[in-house]
Every structure is written in structure tokens, then in C-alpha cells.
Structure 1
Amino acid sequence: MKDDSSHDAYGPAKIALLVEDVGIAKARLPLFQMFVLAILAGAFIGFGAAAYSAVMSGIDPAFGPHKLLGGVVFSLGLVLVVVGGAELFTGNALMVMAAVDRRITAPELLRSWTVVYLGNLAGAAGLALAFGFSGLLDGPMGEVAARISQAKAALQPVEAFFRGALCNALVCLAIWLTFAARTVSGKILAILWPISAFVLLGLEHSVANMYFFPQGWLAASGVPVGDAVRNLVWVTLGNIAGGAGGVALAYRFAYLGKPAR
């Protein structure tokens, strides 16, 4: 019989090699291409966040089943990033694997993170502005948008940091699992459950917040800019810790040999 092993999922050791190779390619993208792909990723995550805001309109956001449905629709963002192809800051925490093995330099890693972060911000905020002009934030969706941004701004730094770390552990695990899949449907299923779980649990994603805060301002949330910036700083640091440390380094040391000297 013909061997059909090409349809089998990749094992963790192979995934580690693939993730590291992709990290090298990401670090060496031309600057303009990197920035454009980052803008797209910010907008893609924004579409997922907008869909979440619409789903939560008129219902109790603390009720678990409702938040699970919100997580399912929010997953659209990462599906678009992975399948459509774009550069997402939180997922690029996995590039640390290549940096630890000295296959990319620290300046290359920081260049990528900085450019992609700014591009994600531009894409997410730009999409929020488009929704503001659409009139969709004038009704129930706008009320939800204001409540979401107010709740995020009220988080204390320690809360924001750890919610960010836990969030990006799940996001990077979702991306890790997509490397196991060899079909689009497999990649979508790999994304669905980790992302739905982080939304259900009320965790914090920096790029999603780049959309949620401008959306809230356009819906008259009254959140001070300083509170939004503070949230983004602590959530971003948590995202780096959870993705780079909690996932990337753990798998690197588990599957790619001895720790780098």
C-alpha cells in the first residue's frame, strides 16, 4: 500500500525545528514587508475583537457560555493571521528559540518585535477608527465596547502582567499546534480551543487591547489615555514572559538539545 504519512501531524521535535526555521525567516523579512504584514495582523486581530464585542452585546459578559461563544468568534483573528499570513507580535515571541540558538541576533529579534508591534498598533487602531465611522458603535455594541475598555483599564499592574503571561502562553501554544497540522482545517482546529479558552478565562492580549481601547474611546468610554498605556505596557511584558519564556524556551530546551552556552 502507498504510504500516506504525509498527512500525519508533525511531532513536537519536528515542530521545534519548524518554529525555529520560521523565526529566522521572520527576523530577516524586508522592513517594508514586515511592517505591512504587521498592519494586516493588527487589523485581523481587531476583526476578531470586533466580532467578540458584537457577540457580547446585550448579554452578561461574566456568564461562562456567552464568553465561550465570544472566544470562538474572537478566534477569527488568529485564523486570519496564520492562514492568511501576517506578522503578529504575540506569536513572534516564539522567535526567541532561534535567538537562543544564535541563529538570529538579539538586534534582529528586537528589530522584528519593534516593527511588528508598531505595525500591529497601526492596524488595530486603524480598524477601530473604521468601525467608529461605520456607526456600529452607536448602539449596543458601543456600550459593550465602553465596558470592555473600562474593565481593562481598571486592572492593577500585577493582574495585567499575569493575565498577559497566561494569555500568550495559550496563544503561542495555539500557534505551536498549527505547525503540527498539514491542512488548513487542521490549523483552524488547532487555533480554536486555546484561543477560546483565553477569552473565556478573561486573559489579556496586547494586540487585541490595541483595538479594544480605541474602540472604547470611540464609544465614549472615558478611559484616560494614561490608563490604557499602563495596561498595554504590563500586558505586553506579560505576553513576552508567557510566550517567550513559558512556551518558546521550554520547548527549545526540551527538544533542541542542550541549553545554549
Structure 2
Amino acid sequence: MSDFGKFVDAFTPAEVAEKVKTVGVDKANMPLLPLVVLSLMAGAFISFAAMYYTVVMTDANMAYGLSRLIGGLVFALGFILVVVAGAELFTGNTLVVMAYAKRQITFLGLMRNWGIVYFGNAVGALVTVYLVYLSGYLGNAEYGVGVTALKTGLAKVELTTTEAFVRGLFCNVLVCLGSWMVYASRSVTDKVMAVLFPISGFVAMGFEHSIANMYMIPIAMVAAADQAIVAASQLDASQLQALDFSGLMGNLVPVTLGNIVGGVGFVAMAYYLVYVYSGPSQKNSR
């Protein structure tokens, strides 16, 4: 292959596996301050995507499938910002487990990364919720945006535990496959295209992303406290009872566990077994 071909061609899956391990070591050893700041930014980036999605889905008169497709495409904004502008997102960081499986980082290092990033993402999302509340954004389109936010969050807290878990699993399989292809990319255009279809796909199919839900359910709770939005939604108080802290946790816990199982078990460890794992050593096999 010519030098030019090596420059433009995507990394092979085996090369990506090596790259994911190396990046995983860097992520696990990242100093606290940049890790926290990048985690906060990721929470805000995903919240921007949810805001964009909410506007697009407001008063959508298109067919169901087409409206879901367009909603998914615009939601990809958040993940494009994460991979191109740079941020630390919990769901994608489940791939860091590959570095742990190869014993290049400790279990404590893995938990440190996941814990700080997850908490930072949550704070970034919740700060965005507060700023959105102050902005009057929910009143746009004669409270139509607020109604969409309300109904979107309500649909999430009404999922059963099993539904939330499995949808979380499916979601992060697609997110981590998108991240995997980003690692194979050599240009910004490559990264955008790698992200676009896995992310739009999980959104269109109604799968569940824990960090997105850290914005979408709390903003629905804020909308439920606004009588003008509730009146415009034509929902009564009894229908909104699930939008509370218990409902939030009832969604986030199974969705987060599903995200972990999907990213770790169905992507990271699957590729680890194919491209990294070399089997028991001869010493251990004697």
C-alpha cells in the first residue's frame, strides 16, 4: 500500500483494538481537573442534543418513522460534539474495560474513571436543565416545546425495569460501535459519519441512554411544575405522578446497568476476545 493509502484508509479492527486499549490507559490515568471538566462538558453536549431533538419533535406532522429518523439525526449533535470537540462521556468510556482486561490499568482506575465521568456527566446535564429553565425555552411554540419535553420524560419513567434495561443495553451497543468506528477514523468527516447512523439509529428505535435521560427526565419534571405547560399538554395531575425522584431513579438505574452490559459485554469484551486475548499462557496450561 502506498503512503497515501495508509494515510486515508481507516484503521483496521485489530489496530482499533490496540488504539482503544492505549486510549483507555490514558483515560484511566487522566488528572482529576481535566477529567471533571471534560465530563461536565459531555453532560452539557448531550443535553444540547436533547434540546435540539425536543424542538424538532414538537408539532411534527410527518409520518412516525420519518419523524423518528429526523429526530435521531439531530440528536447525533451531542455525540459529534463529544468526539470532535472533545469530552468524556460515560457510555463510550465503558470501552476502557479493554485496558483493564489486558491488566494495563487496575480495577480501581477503571472505577475512578467511570465514577467521576458518570457524576460529572450528571452535573453537566442538571446544570443545563437549570439554565434551560431560566431561559424560557420550554415556553417556545406556545408551550409546545415544554409539552414535548414533558411527554418525552413521562414516557421514559413509565418503562418497566426490564424494558429500561434492555433498551439501555441496545443503546450502548450502538453507541460503543459508533465509538469503535470513530477510533478507526482519520479525519473529522470520518468521525461525523461514523457517529451519525449508530446514534440516529438508537434514538429512532427508542433505546435508552443514561446520560441523555439525566437531562430529559429532570427537564420533564420542571415542565410538570409549570401549570401553563401542563394545561397545554391536556394531562391531569394523576398522569404526572411518575415524574418524581423515584421515577427518575427507576429509569436511570436499569438504563445505566443496561448501558454497562451493552458496552462492556457486547462490544468491548467481544472485540477483546477476537483481537486482544491470546489465551492462557503455556505456563498456565501445564
Could you tell which deviates more after superposition, 222-231 or 61-70?
61-70
Is the CA contact (8 Å cut-off) linking 1:68 and 1:197 kept in structure 2? Answer: yes
- 8 Å contact from structure 2 (residues 221, 244) kept in 1: no
Following superposition, the deviation at residue 3 of structure 1 comes to 2.8
- Does residue 1:14 correspond to 2:34, yes or no? no
Contact 1:53 1:141 in 2 (8 A): yes
With 213-222 and 70-79 compared, the bigger mean Cα shift is at 213-222
The TM-score normalised by the length of structure 1 is 0.97
Aligned to 2:215: 211
Q: 2:187 aligns with which of 160, 183, 190?
A: 183
Q: Deviations over 1:5-46 (max 9, x none)?
A: 211111100000001100000000111211111000000001
1:100–1:260 CA contact under 8 A, matched in 2: no
Q: Check 1:154–1:258 CA distance in 2 against 1; reply closer, same or farther (3 A cut).
A: same
Please show how residues 233-244 of structure 1 align to structure 2 within 5 Å.
233-244=253-264
> Structure 2: which 5+ runs fail to align?
226-239, 282-286
**One-letter amino acid matched to 1:203:** F
Give how far 1:62 is off: 8.1
* 1:257 Cα offset (Å): 2.9
Deviations 1:104-144 (CA, angstroms, capped at 9, x unpaired): 00000001100000000000111121111111112111100
Cα gap change, 1:176 to 1:97, in 2 (>3 Å)? same
1:27-83 superposed Cα distances (whole Å, 9 cap, x missing partner)? 001112111110000000010111011100012698111011011010000100001
- Cα distance in 2 for partners of 1:127, 1:18 equals 32
Determine the structure 2 residue equivalent to 1:161.
Answer: 165
Tell me the distance in 2 between the aligned counterparts of 1:123 and 1:2: 45
* Counterparts of residues 1-261 of structure 1 (less than 5 Å): 3-4=3-4, 5-59=6-60, 63-138=64-139, 139-220=143-224, 222=240, 223-259=243-279
**After TM superposition, where is structure 1 displaced by more than 2 Å over at least 4 residues in a row?**
59-62, 257-261
Task: Please give the alpha-carbon distance, in whole angstroms, between the structure 2 residues aligned to 1:100 and 1:2.
Answer: 35
Asked whether the equivalents of residues 171 and 195 of structure 1 are also in contact (C-alpha less than 8 Å), the reply is yes
- SS of the aligned residue for 1:57 comes to coil
**Aligned equivalents of 2:43, 2:146: Cα separation in 1:** 20
CA distance in structure 2 between the aligned counterparts of 1:250 and 1:190, rounded to whole angstroms? 20
Structure exhibiting the larger radius of gyration computed from Cα positions: 2
CA contact (8 A) 2:218 2:248 kept: no
Q: Which amino acid aligns with 2:45?
A: F
Distance in 2, matches of 1:98 and 1:169, equals 18
In 1, distance between residues paired with 2:37 and 2:66? 36
User: Does structure 2 retain, via aligned residues, the 8 Å contact 1:155–1:231?
Assistant: yes
Structure 1 residues 88 and 13: CA distance shift in structure 2, 3 A:
same
Q: For structure 1, which runs of at least 5 residues remain unmatched after alignment?
A: none
Greater displacement, 221-230 / 184-193: 221-230
Give 2:75's aligned amino acid: F
Q: Distance in 2 between matches of 1:172 and 1:49?
A: 19
- Residue type at the aligned position of 1:18: K
Q: Deviations over 1:207-232 (max 9, x none)?
A: 00001012111211740210111100
